[in-house]
A and B are shown apart, each in its own frame.
Chain A
Amino acid sequence: MTVSNQLTSDATSSRFGSTEQGRMVIDIRGLGKRFGAVAALQDVSFDVQRGEFIAIMGPSGSGKTTLLNILSLLDRPTEGDYHLDGIAVASLTEREQTVIRREKIGLVFQQFHLIPYLSALENVMLAQHYHSVADREEALEALEHVGLAQRRDHLPSQLSGGEQQRVCIARALINAPALILADEPTGNLDADNEGLVMGLLERLRDEGRTIVLVTHNPDLGERTDRIVRLQHGRLAS
């Protein structure tokens, strides 16, 4: 069984119930977020179908990051509904959200964020550990999938930026999440590595993954299926 097979199969029979029939991975209705008097997001509604690769775009201060934080359950909306893979996640407790986060969401950051004292392989295995149990074979296959099998025992400091980001992607997909959220994944990379990482994301889309890419780079946005534009905290489309 290869990793790609796995990625297409929809493994979501966690304790929150299986939702394999559902087509909608993200379903947002009237989402809003206020920081005191300032409204960072207002009445945002959109959905993402299973297998879609979409981009959230907008200039700085448009509310992209706030939306991303809400999508990744790192922050709570002040109004509106958010269904992730058929589950109303906004009303869950902190603890339940933690479980959803580790079982349904894979995160890729602009600044890579790897544990500095763990090797590439161990960084991937850590995500498995928090999710369920570590499985070395499976983690190795995931590294192979992003073309880093030979670098498995290197520490993050011994890897190039592009390699680090590919480790992050391997880590993000190791638990076959319903949703991969990538926040400016190429922001800190040179053009070559940017191409490599975007190619990898596109390949994942082809394998059936649902990917939300947050970026302000129009060239990258063009390579996705659909673009959701934000302007001053509202949908701009």
Chain B
Amino acid sequence: MVLRMLWRSFFEGRRRKILAAATVALAATLITTLFALSVDVGDKMAKEMTSYGSNIRVTPKADAMPLLIGGVDYNPLKGRDYLNERDLPKIKDIFWRNNIVGLVPRLALPATAEIDGTALRISVTGTYFDHLLPLPSDEGYRTGVRDINRFWQVEGTWPDDASESQALVGSRLAARLGVVAGGTLRLRTGDGADGPLRTVAIAGILTTGGEEDDGVTVPLAMAQAMAGLPGRIQSIDVSALTVPENDLARKARRGPEALSSEEYDKWYCTAYVGSIAHQIEEVLADTSARPIWQVAAGEGAVITRIQMLLLVVSAAAIAAAAMCVSALMNTTVLERAREIGLMKALGAAPWEIHLLFVGEAVIVGLIGGALGILAGYAVAQGVGWSVFQSGVDVRPITVPVVLAISVITVLAGSILPSRAIAALLPVEVLHGRR
């Protein structure tokens, strides 16, 4: 009976209900958009924090900021601090040594590529591809980008780490230069025309999706020779098996000094990325080892800052929609006053009457919310492309949350009309003569 009544009465005052649903839909669109953006980044961050693998970048403590313009480092090499290549095995000697899967040293230098008489400023990066790094505990330990960065794709062959004349050319650079695997490239150290020149064989074309696509990647020894910095490296990327971050790890991130000795022991003996980084700093003097949180450092930083704004805007949208709904509902209650008075006179309990109106409001909220989600999905895609240059993955959680918010909006809007229902006296509406 209740459902039948709800169903029938739902089609009363359709125009006003459509209006109310539209209001809710507008607010829901806005909230879906903001929420989808926020949750997408939040989920990515959470995933990053709960993953079982992390990367740590080790740099000299007083490292000068690289001056990167178009993928080329313009900061002069001299006067910079460097790490020593011979210190690399020390990293495999820390408490959590077995959790360190790989080490990738890097040395980048500015260079000029010459081909067919044209010269192009580029960045040359030396690294390990699959390098033998004998350790006291494991004479045959091999490590390098082939193992660590499995998504790097090479068209051709990987260069030999021992060679000083093989290189990978980034795919975008290769397109600009018009070179293919198997060709040769003349590289001149530095940005002038006076640096030493060497001819390298292009072993393959490298595609990573990152800045390597615009540069030349060579064996570390070759980069050291070009830069005249034998045995020196700029940074080390350490790939480690870690456990997900939790409260203790977050607390430790503010500085291990903040921990009690009991907590410190627990933290030190747990393979958090932070404790591994801490242990690397302990064995490599004057270095700074930092976890690389890609999402947290990028989109996460933006979202964290604007999240409050998102909240305020959403709250304003909800409040506005609720007020609109409230006005519309109030009119409905006035218009249907006789009906309400009649129900009261027939002996309906107050909650039974409220149920009818609130039930209608909930349906309106659900319809408005559903429309808003569809519209918000589209808007989120647009914003995603214009702000982050990528589509926004609208998470499934958005749907129930926005529907719930829509229903709450409508319910909030129904508070005042509900009081009107409660205050309505049947005597005033039932007798036409008064």
Contacts and interface: CB of A to CB of B under 8 A. Distances in A.
Interface of A: 60, 65, 68-69, 72, 74-75, 95, 98-99, 101-103, 107, 109-111, 113-118, 122, 125-127, 129-131, 134, 171, 183-184
Contacts of A131: 347
A74 B347 contact: no
Given A113-B338, A118-B5, A130 B348 contact: yes
A122 B1 CA distance: 9
Contacts of B4: 122
Nearest to A109: B430
Interface in B40-80: none
Contact of B347 (A68, A98, A117): A98
Nearest to A99: B347
B309 interface: no
Nearest to B429: A113
Contacts of B431: 65, 68-69, 109-110, 183
Given A74-B425, A117-B12, A125-B1, A103 B430 contact: no
Contacts of B342: 113-115
B427 A75 contact: yes
B347 A103 contact: yes
Contacts of B432: 110-111
B8 interface: yes
B334 to A, nearest CB: 15
B434 interface: yes
Pairs of residues from A and B, 4 with the lowest C-beta to C-beta distance, nearest first: A102-B347, A117-B8, A129-B1, A101-B347
Contacts of A99: 347
12 contacts: A65-B431, A69-B427, A74-B345, A74-B425, A75-B425, A75-B427, A101-B345, A110-B432, A115-B5, A116-B12, A126-B5, A130-B346
Contacts of A74: 345, 425-427, 430
Nearest to B7: A117
Given A107-B345, A183-B431, 12 more contacts: A60-B433, A65-B427, A72-B345, A74-B425, A101-B346, A110-B432, A111-B432, A115-B9, A117-B8, A122-B5, A125-B1, A130-B349
A93 B9 CA distance: 30
A94 B393 CA distance: 54
Interface in B336-350: 338-339, 341-349
B9 A127 contact: no
Interface residues of B, number: 28
A75 B426 CA distance: 9
Interface string B347-381: 11100100000000000000000000000000000
Interface string B159-172: 00000000000000
Given A74-B345, A74-B426, A130 B352 contact: yes
A116 B343 CA distance: 12
A63 to B, nearest CB: 12
A126 B1 contact: yes
A113 B347 contact: no
Nearest to A115: B339
A102 B430 contact: no
B73 to A, nearest CB: 75
A130 B11 contact: no
Contacts of B11: 117
Contacts of A103: 347
Contacts of B349: 95, 98, 130
A65 B433 contact: yes
Contacts of B425: 74-75
A84 B5 CA distance: 31
Contacts of B1: 125-126, 129, 134
Given A99-B347, A101-B345, A117 B434 contact: no
A138 to B, nearest CB: 14
Nearest to B342: A113
Nearest to A97: B347
